């Protein structure tokens, strides 16, 4: 989940592979792919356990062995579930209370003279530039012709080491994009960083360098939170899966005890 949130490591590699092959990115598919990789060793171990059980001549001993292994797997699932659920609560608190808010009067930042006013997160207005390169974000679903777009906000011809400002255009109809280029003033919530992870390799491939640090202007706080809730949803799915595994093994343990009438419970 850390790799998914920070867009790093193997998660980033899988995501960029999707972009290079399919031209878009689905974080849920990346999540399921990585989850499958994590589950494969468990399935292999369970297969070996089943084969070993078939060769076990002692029925009572085999039952105790099966019971002991089932308890270990259930306890491991419970432990990982506790960690995942704890991280989910912490992340939910962070998204709810720690993200910048758009309350108060907006501070005006002139892009061509951004050093004249110290940059800070919060309610802001960007002036002095215009919308440049636009790029869509494949993580959000869409309805009809609406897409989730971001755009570089810059002064044409101004020599920079990289793009410093970006604007979240929101889910818009692709036919509206030409009209958005005419807007020179944008208001909303300015945050440090803020671009979804997969937009950065897209910009890099397009020859657009992103400066460090950079800032993204979101229409409001709710829009900013939406990108975090995608990761929270994936974390919740992981916690749910682990809970189901724990429930399954609880039933499996009870079935073994009923089948063989095991008198003694192995110490784990």
Would the pLDDT of 129 be above 80? yes
Taking the C-alpha atoms of residue 52 and residue 147, their distance in angstroms, rounded to an integer, is: 53
Say which residue, 51 or 104, is predicted with more confidence.
Answer: 104
| Amino acid 98: pLDDT | 84
| Amino acid 263: pLDDT | 47
- Residue 115: pLDDT band (50, 70, 90) is low
| Amino acid 157: pLDDT | 67
| Amino acid 186: pLDDT | 93
Would the pLDDT of 143 be above 50? no
Q: What is the pLDDT of residues 42-99, one digit of tens each?
A: 667 767 766 665 554 444 566 677 778 888 888 878 877 887 788 788 888 888 888 8
Out of 140-144, 151-155, 207-211, the most confident range is 151-155
| % of the chain at pLDDT higher than 70 | 71
Would the pLDDT of 139 be above 70? no
Cis peptide preceding 10, ω within 30 of 0: no
Would the pLDDT of 217 be above 90? yes
| Amino acid 84: pLDDT | 76
Q: What is the pLDDT of residues 164-199, one digit of tens each?
A: 899 998 777 777 788 888 888 999 999 988 887 667
């Amino acid at each position: 989940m850390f790799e998914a949130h920070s867009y790093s490591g193997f998660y980033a590699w899988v995501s960029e592979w999707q972009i290079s092959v399919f031209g878009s990115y689905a974080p849920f598919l990346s999540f399921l792919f990585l989850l499958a990789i994590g589950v494969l060793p468990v399935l292999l171990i369970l297969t070996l356990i089943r084969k070993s059980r078939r060769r076990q001549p002692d029925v009572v001993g085999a039952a105790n062995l099966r019971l002991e292994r089932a308890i270990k797997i259930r306890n491991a699932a419970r432990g990982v579930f506790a960690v995942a659920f704890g991280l989910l609560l912490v992340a939910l608190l962070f998204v709810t209370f720690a993200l910048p808010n758009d309350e108060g009067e907006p501070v005006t930042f002139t892009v061509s003279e951004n050093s004249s006013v110290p940059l800070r997160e919060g309610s802001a207005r960007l002036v002095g530039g215009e919308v440049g390169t636009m790029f869509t974000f494949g993580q959000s679903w869409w309805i009809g012709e609406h897409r989730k777009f971001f755009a570089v906000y810059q002064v044409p011809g101004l020599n920079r080491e990289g793009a410093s400002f970006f604007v979240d255009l929101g889910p818009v109809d692709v036919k509206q994009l030409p009209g958005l280029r005419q807007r020179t003033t944008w208001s909303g919530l300015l945050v440090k960083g803020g671009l979804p992870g997969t937009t950065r390799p897209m910009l890099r491939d397009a020859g657009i360098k992103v400066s460090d640090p950079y800032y993204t202007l979101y229409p409001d706080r709710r829009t900013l939170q939406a990108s975090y809730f995608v990761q929270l949803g994936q974390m919740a799915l992981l916690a749910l899966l682990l809970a189901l595994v724990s429930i399954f093994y609880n039933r499996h343990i009870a079935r073994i005890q009923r089948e063989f009438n095991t008198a003694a419970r192995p110490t784990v």
